[in-house]
Amino acid sequence: MRIATWNVNSITARLPRLLAWLESSGTDVLCLQETKCTAEQFPHDELRELGYEAAVNANGRWNGVALLSKVGLEDVVMGLPGGPDYDGVQEPRAVSATCGPARVWSVYVPNGREVGHAHYAYKLGWFEALKTAVAEDAAGARPFAVLGDYNVAPTDEDVWDPAVFVDSTHVTPAERAALTALREAGLSDVVPRPLKYDRPYTYWDYRQLAFPKNRGMRIDLVYGNAPFAKAVSDAYVDREERKGKGASDHAPVVVDLDVQG
């Protein structure tokens, strides 16, 4: 079973590349973030032609998540149970479902904007709610994973130059402590380092030639429980999909599981 996560930074803008990648990659389940569309605008028909069902939590031009599956979508949950609002709104940042033998979440963790901003406090509260919401599944016997854009680099090795990020979001002790707390709920980072190259970043800014210079961050993560981690047979960041015209600023992260569906 091949499962992946990808912040597409607008599914409308990225649709031709998404469809081509799904056809070539052999992915069974794909977690999408930052779809930037309404549920009505989501390209269900095009994806159905490739054999994918979709569970979509989206409401407009910002945020938005989805799960695409060729192996079934059952027990779908929209949103983060117990999650905080921002400006009185429950943002569409999570969707979960059972896909064949695994239970999967697609998450788009709040950015935080800047330390001290209300969005930063919202981000930390969102992490706390996520830890509570996934605890039961994380402790279970079924393969379970939370995939997505976490908007946190777990260590200084996960950013191209730690000095550039001093006092910025994505690397603060509080954000990294939130990741530690999530792992303590029974999850681990199942994408090893190094992979097939040094510094396996997943995000590169569009500006200042960040991708050609490999000035990136590893913020797209796959956190799985023990049965999920045990089943992992391979994992990689598809850097090729970050290249060329019309690319997202994130690359897909792909994990292969040796499980029986």
Burial class (CB in 10 A: 0-12, 13-18, 19+), 15: middle
Question: Is 205 one of the catalytic residues?
Answer: no
Whole-number Å distance between alpha carbons of 246 and 225: 35
Catalytic residue selected from 86, 108, 120, 203: 108
Catalytic residue selected from 137, 149, 220, 256: 149
Tell me which residue has tokens 């797209």. 220
Q: What are phi and psi of 104, to 5 degrees?
A: -135, 140
Question: Is 86 one of the catalytic residues?
Answer: no
Q: Which two tokens stand for residue 197?
A: 């190259």
**Secondary structure E strands in 70-128:** 74-78, 94-99, 102-108
Going by the annotation, the residues of the binding site for Mg(2+) are 7, 34, 149, 151, 249-250
Question: Which residues lie across from 169 on neighbouring strands?
Answer: none
Q: Which two tokens stand for residue 244?
A: 């060329």
The Cβ of residue 260 has, within 10 Å, a number of other Cβ atoms equal to 8
Question: Is 223 one of the catalytic residues?
Answer: no
Task: List, by residue number, the catalytic residues.
Answer: 108, 149, 250
